[in-house]
Structures are given as structure tokens and as C-alpha cells.
Structure 1
């Protein structure tokens, strides 16, 4: 894999180094010193990781700039960006620095750690990641590994059980995202029938394991709707200030369900069961067979997410058309505000960013200019603005936005 840093990136780094003042009060950070890394899929099969001095203004062309990448999963945690490189079966750690630079620091080869590759990337604590992998035809077996962040090494690894019924061998459970709380790991995912090419849904289900042993699998469920939770490469689970976790339930006929009500379910802090008194129906108030695809918690009960309008779709391939829109979700009052932002392909929901109380996501309408947009939770349906413009040579899909450290 080639790693070429642009002249633009070097100039940013030098400008940042020479802009430091010795008499500036300790802890004070000027906007010019806050860099960001953006990962995007550009025209064709090209993927790039590049840093910018701001996401609120300016422009970025990915062509020939930054680091060429081949990622299928991205994660940001502390000063690191992680990428699962499928062709090379490498889990790569990139380090972001205050001067605006980003460079590969280390990598782990996935062969021999888990089956297949690291499909599910989960943050356990400041210095620990939990990664999961399984074969498509896994027959109820998957692998796990705990990764130490500071020296990027495998702490321990093992296998764990997934739901499987030999009487219905075509139905497989696919790994999603999860979280650790009170000695348990709670995992989302979905059931898929390879023979009928359809999702299998009966209520909403998640898996609970003892952590860190990953033993004693238990299936938890709620009948609030019929859908699946925790899709692996979308931001499909988050938590509030009190430590309660919220899973996105996707119930669309083209995404993880059969056309039911999509929305949000809750698991309260310290518990390992769905809150039977909580279901936030997003589909009904939004209309157009809206299927919720992702969710980022901002604060004070407010989250932002993205819906795809399945009334505008005839197949899953239509997700590359302008069928998705940003929504603001009040998780306390269960009210939805459809933002008057442009429609866009649904790929924009992979890894948006919550930063300084605002929500940032890439919006890239077909055959139109793409931007990072800033959304303000304090306002209404028009409370958003364009930030940095993005050029991917005719097509662009933002996969990740991450802030650099400032010291």
C-alpha cells in the first residue's frame, strides 16, 4: 500500500509549528491549531485519509493527497484512527498529531487472531479495543481478541458462540457492534438467510456475554418492533451522560428488516436487558418508509442520525441515490425533526463526528458538490451550515471524521 503525504499536508504541519507562541496562556487553543482527519471513498476504488486545518471552512481534494487506503471498517479513538485493510488482512493504527500530520504507526495481521478479519470494532476503555471476526458461514462460531492501544498488541484472544440451528443451516447470525457495561458485553447484529436472500427478524434481538471471557451467551429480545440492531460499519450504538445505551433498530425491507418500524431501543446502565418501556418509533412520524441507519448522541437527550426513505427505493442498490436525510432525535420526548439538509446517498452515515456540542457529517448528493455539514442541536430544522467542501474526482463518500489532539 502506498503512503504518500501531500505538499499541502506538509505545509499545514509547518504552519502549525511556527504559529505557536510562548506567551500564550496554558491550555488555550486557537482554531487554526485544531486539525482533523477525514477518510473518504473517492471516484472508482480510490480511498484516502487526509488531514485538514478545519472542517468548518475551506476545501479538500483527495486526489493525490494524503494516504492511499483500502479500508472497510474505520474507528477513531483518542489520537488514533484505525482501519481494517481487507486485501492485506491488516488492522492498521494511524496516529494523529497536533501539527496536523497523520501517519501509520503500527499494524496487526488478522490471520491467526480471529477467523476472516476484524469485522466488529469496539472500544472497551481508553487503552483497550475488542475486535470480533467470523466466517460468513460461521456455523455458530466466531473469534474475539482484546487489543492494547498503547503498544498495539493482542492482549488475549479466543472463540465464542453465536446463535446457530443446524435444522436451518442457511440462516446465519452476522456480527454487529456492541459495548461493555457491568461485566457484560452486549452485541448487536442480524440474521440473514443465504438461500432466500432475506433478513430474518422476529422482534429485536441482541447477544449478551460475560466479559472478558466471552462465555455464557444469552439472547435478549424485545417485541417493540421487528428489526436488527448494531450494524457493524455504521455508528449504530451510543450512550448518554447517565451511561444508558441506545441501539439503532433498522427494520427496512432493504435494510435489516422486512419493512417494519425503525427507531431506537434502550439498555439502561448496569443492566443487560432491553428496556421494555422504551421504544422510539422514527418511521411513523417521518413517513416515506423511513429506515433509521445511524445515531450519534450529542447531549441533553439530543442525537442526530440518518434515515433512508425506502419509498424512494426499489432495491438495496438505490442507497447510492439521493434517498437519505439527516434527522434530529430527542431521545427523551421521542420527537423527530427532519432537517432541511440535502438528500444524499446513505453512505454518509458511516462515522460522523460529535465535536464541541455539534454534529458533523459528510453530505454528497449525486453529481453535486460535497461538503462536511455542521448541525446545531439547539436549533430547528434549518439549524445547519456547510463547512469544508470535498472533491473526490466525481464521487465521494465520507467514511470517518476525527479530531487531532491539540497538544
Structure 2
């Protein structure tokens, strides 16, 4: 974490500066940052002080509640973080707990079994947990069913729970697209202004069934007050841009608009190639199924999980794998294809941009 007063000067010096935190992902709520430390098996709370530094406020052990890495971490609302972790990878038993914030106390915990899906006679598909969101009074969690040989069950799937008890898990599926939900696309849920829930569906080289019908990434919809997929809605991203397009991330911009991090699935040589310059940005009009692609150079944007979004500006990082540089990137989501500007160079070795967080006082 490196405080700065300007994102659009010449340089932000990251050489031996800032502070390093033992976290793979961050959760922002109000003026606090939360993260899980895998070596310590603790969840930490830090407060952003007026100068932009992070000050440790509290920590709580979750060693008795998670098996390994708190795999699915979810900010459900301003008062609750939900953590889920498989007891054994690919098997149906899952531990879960909720942490109340900002007081940072464990409020509930338990174990559930993922719903069974048959692969063949007397054999179940392996199952995985993804990120989750509250919708229609239920908890909806993305998932994927697969085996350890690279085969994936057809369709796309979520598990719907009675919340807050995390009981009665029900498997809800659609055959509109074969894809994983809420796993690769860690930012993959967007709720529009009218209450409809849109879900990024990723398939192909990174995760899931390779396309056999020219449909790669897509967007699915669950309507307001519903828990089943809208059978009349599939936003085929490849069809909209007339080329193979998959989706890595989806961030809400307002109304029925979202910014997506997209890539050409046919150009990626598996997961080992996922950190090269494959990704580009597009504004999605979710209701009308339209994409405006921005002329930002392709980059390694996969790790840029926490953009700063304010006043129609989407501010993130532009990491060029080819040039080994990282810049600030700002896109005006109300502008045309060239409505972007490159900001300061992040000066330092082995830098990757994860997130931009504004001070509340700013």
C-alpha cells in the first residue's frame, strides 16, 4: 500500500516504499480494509487514516472455522463478511462463518454440503465454491462441477441458500451456456438499478468447457425477486463483438451499465499464459446487450481487482507485460472508445496493480 496525492503526475515511487500486507485479496467497507492472513489464519481490520496510511485496528482468529485459505470471501453488506472454505478440495463439505463488522466478531458458523450432481452411474462430479451475493432474500453462490481430468459438467450453476442460516442449499442451473460462475471472475456479480442480478459466465482456456459453438464468455441474469436464471436472457459477448470474447471481471457503473475486463479466449494458451497482455476493457449495456470497447492497449489487467469508480470515472492499472511497466489508467465510462488517459508510472520492480482506494476525507 503506497499513499499518493496524485494519480496523474509523472511517477509514483514504489521502490522500497509503502507497506506490505500478507493478503491475497482485500475487502473495503466504509473506512476500513479487511483481509485474511493465511499463515496466521486470522482476519485483520485496518482503518485508513487521514494521511492515507493503514492503521491496524483489530484481528480475529478463524483457525477453527477455515480449512486452508478462506477460499470464498464476500462482503454481503455493510455489516457482514461471509467466508467459505472446502473441507477437502472438490468434495461437497464446506465450512462457513460470518464476521460482523466493524466490530469484527464471529456472528455465526456452520457446515453445509454442496448439492450432488451425477457424472456417471454411482459417480458424482467434483464441486467447487465461488463468490456469493444476497439477492431476493437468499444467498446466491457461484459454482462449477468438474473432475480432476479436465472435464466439466454442462451448463452453468449457482447454489441458493436460505440466509442467514445457510441452510437448504439448492442447485439452480441453466443450459444457456456452459461456464463457471463466481470463481475466475471474482468480481462477477452486478445488481442493476432495477434490482436484476447479472452474473459473469467464464468458459474456455482459463476455466471450464472449451467453446464448441462460438459462445465464449457471457452474462446471465436472475431477475428481481427471483432465484432461477432468466431463460430468455444470455448476453453473448462474442456475438456482440463478432470475435471470440471471454470475461475476467465485471464492475458496476450505475443504472444497467458495467465495466468488463475481457479477453480473446482463443489467444490464451491456458492458465500459464493468463498473466500476459491479453485483456481489454469494454462498457457493457446489460439490458440492451451492447458493448463499447475502449481503445486501451491490451494489458495484463487480470489482477486489478479493485478499481476506483466515481463520477463516471473508472480508475485502475495498465500493466504492460511486454514493456514491464505499470501505469494508472482512467476510463471515462460516459465517453467514447478513446475516452481514457494514462496516469503516473508506478516506479519499482515486480509491481502489479491490485486496487485503488480513495480516502473518505478526499
Q: Does 1:103 align with 2:55?
A: yes
How much has 1:287 moved relative to structure 2?
4.7
For structure 2, list consecutive stretches of 5 or more residues without a partner in the other structure: none
Aligned to 1:381: 337
More displaced stretch, 112-121 vs 207-216: 112-121
Alpha-carbon spacing, 1:124–1:314, altered in 2? closer, same or farther (3 Å): closer
Q: Deviations over 1:260-283 (max 9, x none)?
A: 431111122222111222211112
Aligned partners of 1:216, 1:250: CA distance in 2, in Å? 27
How much has 1:331 moved relative to structure 2?
0.9
Aligned to 2:45: 93
Aligned to 1:308: 263
Superposition pairs of residues 202-213 of structure 1, within 5 angstroms: 202-213=154-165
Q: Deviations over 1:243-266 (max 9, x none)?
A: 222110001233333224311111
Tell me which of 191, 195, 202 is aligned to 2:145.
191
Q: Deviations over 1:290-332 (max 9, x none)?
A: 2111111102322111112222222221112111111111112
User: Under a length normalisation based on structure 1, what TM-score does the superposition of the two structures give?
Assistant: 0.81
Aligned partners of 2:269, 2:185: CA distance in 1, in Å? 23
Alpha-carbon spacing, 1:165–1:305, altered in 2? closer, same or farther (3 Å): closer
Q: Which has the higher helix share?
A: 1
Tell me which of 314, 331, 353 is aligned to 1:398.
353
Alpha-carbon spacing, 1:369–1:202, altered in 2? closer, same or farther (3 Å): same
* Bigger relative contact order, structure 1 or 2 (CA pairs below 8 A, ≥6 apart): 1
How much has 1:349 moved relative to structure 2?
4.2
Aligned to 1:249: 201
Aligned length: 355
**Other structure's SS at 2:103 match:** coil
**Does the 8 Å contact 1:347/1:398 carry over to 2?**
no
Alpha-carbon spacing, 1:135–1:50, altered in 2? closer, same or farther (3 Å): farther
Tell me which of 66, 83, 89 is aligned to 1:114.
66
Superposition pairs of residues 7-406 of structure 1, within 5 angstroms: 49-137=1-89, 139-164=91-116, 167-168=122-123, 171-194=125-148, 196=149, 198=150, 200-231=152-183, 234-259=186-211, 260-366=215-321, 367-393=323-349, 395-406=350-361
User: Under a length normalisation based on structure 2, what TM-score does the superposition of the two structures give?
Assistant: 0.91
Q: Deviations over 1:33-89 (max 9, x none)?
A: xxxxxxxxxxxxxxxx22222434453233322221232222222111222222332
Where does structure 1 differ by over 6 angstroms across 4 or more consecutive aligned residues? none
**Other structure's SS at 1:311 match:** helix
